């Protein structure tokens, strides 16, 4: 069920922080895909959004560092912000905290397709 995935992600965040402590010089193009559909619910969406905020702290976000983007989805995907739109972890965290809960149907396949085809292009900030 969905709560198992959320708990796994929360646990993985702590493990990831410890693993990344020694490799801060590794930089990524990282797009988070957040389910904002009615099946998740407002409270759980807020928990996942907070997980993103905490996980971003473990990366060196910057022009020459890790670039972070977020896509949320329900009836359709919404690019909340593209890769490299924010040049600090704090800016990414502020933007992530402002992502609205949208409700609606769960169209995961469409959202994955959007990320795969659109989120990592040069036009969308990919490197």
C-alpha separations of 35 from 62, 66, 72, 92, 111 in Å: 26, 23, 6, 18, 9
The pLDDT assigned to 13 comes to 54
The pLDDT assigned to 1 comes to 47
The pLDDT assigned to 33 comes to 97
The pLDDT assigned to 26 comes to 77
Q: What is the pTM of this model?
A: 0.80
- In the chain (127 residues long), the average pLDDT of successive 10-residue segments reads 52 55 74 96 96 94 95 97 96 97 95 96 93
Where are the chain's structural domains?
A: 26-124
At the fourth CATH level, which superfamily is domain 26-124?
Answer: von Willebrand factor, type A domain (3.40.50.410)
C-alpha separations of 105 from 34, 74, 94, 114 in Å: 13, 5, 26, 16
The pLDDT assigned to 53 comes to 96
The pLDDT assigned to 23 comes to 55
């Amino acid at each position: 069920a969905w709560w198992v995935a959320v708990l796994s992600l929360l646990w993985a965040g702590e493990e990831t922080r410890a693993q990344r402590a020694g490799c801060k010089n590794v930089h990524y193009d990282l797009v988070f895909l957040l389910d904002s559909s009615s099946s998740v619910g407002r409270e759980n969406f807020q928990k996942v959004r907070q997980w993103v905020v905490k996980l971003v702290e473990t990366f060196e976000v910057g022009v020459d560092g890790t670039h972070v983007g977020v896509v949320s989805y329900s009836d359709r995907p919404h690019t909340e912000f593209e890769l490299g739109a924010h040049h600090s972890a704090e800016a990414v965290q502020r933007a992530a905290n402002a992502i609205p809960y949208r409700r609606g149907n769960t169209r995961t396949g469409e959202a994955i397709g959007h990320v795969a085809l659109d989120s990592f292009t040069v036009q969308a900030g990919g490197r």
